[in-house]
Structure 1
Amino acid sequence: MSTADARQYREIDVIMPRNYRKQLGPRQNRNYDPVYLERAIAAVRRGTLSIRTASEQYAIPYTTLHRWVNNNNLLAYGRPPALENLEEEKLVKVLLICAEWGFPMKSFDIRYIVQQYLNKSGKREKRFSDNLPGLDWFKSFMARHPNLTIKFAENTKRVRAAVNYEVVETYFANLK
């Protein structure tokens, strides 16, 4: 990636506010409380209520309750993720190790790492421009992994740095 491309991506890296409003329409998806769904399923499986009465009592659509009672809810809801769970966990471990070594990463760095990973693994994500995840993906990634935080690198005073031979040897041993 050339410096001009990197400069272009860094200019885009400004986080803008997102105000998503759900559009109302005839189709209503998941407009029920998951706790009520669990209670309704339990009542139907115990035999105390029929599916029809449980759907009316707990305000859950009949077909939804029927699907859940009969375990026919096998399809995942929504688009499959860009990275599998195992791949995301590996990325999180790498980011935590980098932060531990004193190399925190910004949003562009993380997105660029994901782009390089997708390119080298031969995956092509159509939703990403040039396989580079957007800021919305980054915000969702950070929300999925609350143990990660964005920290900016700071200059360290010489007294606090305390760099000696053992610290340098340990650092290079970790790099290997």
Structure 2
Amino acid sequence: MVRKYKRNIGVRRYRDYTDENLEEALQKVTVNEYSLRKAASEYGIPFGTLYNKYKGLHVRKVGHPTIFSAQEEQNLVKCAAVCGDWGYPLSKEDMCFLQKIILIIKAEPSLI
């Protein structure tokens, strides 16, 4: 059985706050109840992190950007499930060909 690791808050200095605390601190800053510095010290969130979230900086996802959007990936999964329901499960090569066709259509929409 696979374990789902969950780090305890306070063990390391990196990200010692929850998403709920971050959202609550941002909400109090936006209604001018707290300053950025006071909210950072009250909630234990680094000032730079709170400032970047407040100003909307560094909002992209961490890591390499994906080729397909989340909706396109969901459509690929649905397509594979439908083919499996029809009695023709897709192999790895079939999925690669399907992805290649989608990429070609995205690059040259006039080919449709």
TM range (shorter): 0.5 to 0.7
In structure 2, runs of 5+ residues without a counterpart are: 8-12, 105-112
Matched residue, 2:32: 47
TM-score with structure 1 length normalisation? 0.45
Is the contact made by 2:53 and 2:59 (CA closer than 8 Å) also made in structure 1?
A: no
Matched residue, 1:113: 94
TM-score with structure 2 length normalisation? 0.65
Structure 2 residue 43 is matched with structure 1 residue 62: no
Number of residue equivalences = 97
Structure 1 residues 94-153: Cα deviation after superposition (integer angstroms, max 9, x where no partner): 112113213445xxx2x433433454536xxxxxxxxxxxxxxxxxxxxxxxxxxxxxxx
Is the contact made by 2:36 and 2:51 (CA closer than 8 Å) also made in structure 1?
A: yes
Return the alpha-carbon distance in structure 1 between the equivalents of residues 62 and 75 of structure 2: 24
In structure 1, runs of 5+ residues without a counterpart are: 1-16, 123-176
What's the Cα RMSD here?
A: 3.1
Matched residue, 1:156: none
Matches within 5 A, 1:81-92: 81-92=66-77
AA aligned to 1:112 is: E
Q: Percent identity?
A: 29
Matched residue, 2:87: 102
Is the contact made by 2:26 and 2:54 (CA closer than 8 Å) also made in structure 1?
A: yes
- Return the index of the structure with the highest Cα Rg: 1
| Deviation of the 1:55 alpha carbon | 0.9
Q: Which has the higher contact order (CA 8 A, sep 6+)?
A: 1
| Deviation of the 1:82 alpha carbon | 4.4
AA aligned to 2:65 is: P
Is the contact made by 2:29 and 2:35 (CA closer than 8 Å) also made in structure 1?
A: yes
| Deviation of the 1:57 alpha carbon | 1.2
Return the alpha-carbon distance in structure 1 between the equivalents of residues 56 and 85 of structure 2: 44
After superposing on structure 2, the runs of 4+ consecutive aligned residues of structure 1 that deviate more than 6 Å are none
